[in-house]
């Protein structure tokens, strides 16, 4: 496969969008499987929507990294892209809701796609200009693994703060 950066990034956006959308429904489709809960949304909380962006981007990054081995900055840039996306989701959601009240579903869905697009555009820009100096990329891989672990832990043991609350039911995490 040719290593064309724009093509890789466009494919990343498509894969993230598709998997994120599928992961939104996976928990219900699998009859509330605990295994599915590890990567899919288990409720409509902002936290669970952040997870829908994180795991597809992370999984795609693992695959992509195999083709970008010569790029020492790969995991530094990928970590910046992923964290930008997962932070952008609550920023957009709470800013909109603070300014206009409850957001309609199509706006919430748009926030996911905007966050994914911004993430991949940022990565593309950083890869192209080579401005990120990455001395210890393994630290950022560990950081992403810690973030993944937090998504899993807080799915089962969420803090009782609004970020983790399902706005439809007022519940937190998995309801068993």
Q: Return the pLDDT at 2.
A: 44
Q: How far apart are CA 111 and CA 91, in angstroms?
A: 10
Q: Is residue 174 part of a domain?
A: no
Residue 102 included in any domain: yes
DSSP 50-101: HHHHHHHHHHHHHHHHTT-TT-TTHHHHHHHHHHHHHHHHHHHHHHHHHHHS
| pTM (two decimals) | 0.92
Place of tokens 């603070």: 98
Query: Number of structural domains, the chain?
Result: 1
Average pLDDT, the chain: 92
- Domain of residue 66: give its range: 5-164
pLDDT given at position 176: 65
Identify the pLDDT of residue 12.
Answer: 96
How confident is the model at residue 131, as a pLDDT?
Answer: 80
Q: Which pLDDT does position 101 carry in this prediction?
A: 84
Q: How far, in whole angstroms, is CA 108 from its chain's centroid?
A: 14
Position 47 in a domain:
yes
Asked whether residue 64 is domain-assigned, the answer is yes
Is residue 176 included in any domain, yes or no? no
173 within a domain of the structure (yes/no): no
Output the pLDDT for position 1: 39
- Each residue's pLDDT tens digit in the chain (176 positions)? 346 888 999 999 999 999 999 999 999 999 999 999 999 999 999 999 999 999 999 999 999 999 988 888 899 999 999 999 999 999 999 999 889 888 888 888 899 999 999 999 999 999 888 887 788 888 888 999 999 999 999 999 999 999 999 988 889 988 76
| pLDDT recorded at residue 129 | 87
């Amino acid at each position: 496969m040719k290593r064309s950066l724009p093509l890789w990034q466009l494919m990343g956006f498509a894969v993230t969008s598709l998997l994120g959308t599928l992961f939104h429904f996976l928990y219900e489709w699998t009859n509330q499987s605990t295994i599915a809960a590890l990567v899919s949304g288990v409720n409509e909380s902002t936290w669970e929507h952040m997870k829908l962006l994180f795991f597809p981007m992370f999984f795609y990054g693992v695959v992509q990294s195999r083709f970008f081995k010569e790029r020492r900055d790969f995991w530094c840039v990928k970590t910046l892209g992923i964290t930008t996306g997962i932070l952008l989701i609550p920023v957009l959601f709470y800013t909109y809701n603070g300014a206009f009240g409850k957001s309609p579903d199509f706006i919430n869905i748009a926030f996911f796609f905007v966050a994914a697009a911004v993430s991949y555009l940022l990565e593309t820009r950083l890869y192209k200009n080579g401005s990120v100096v990455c001395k210890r990329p393994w630290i950022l891989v560990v950081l992403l693994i810690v973030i993944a672990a937090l998504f899993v832990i807080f799915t089962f043991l969420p803090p009782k703060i609004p970020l983790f609350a399902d706005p439809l039911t007022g519940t937190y995490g998995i309801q068993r």
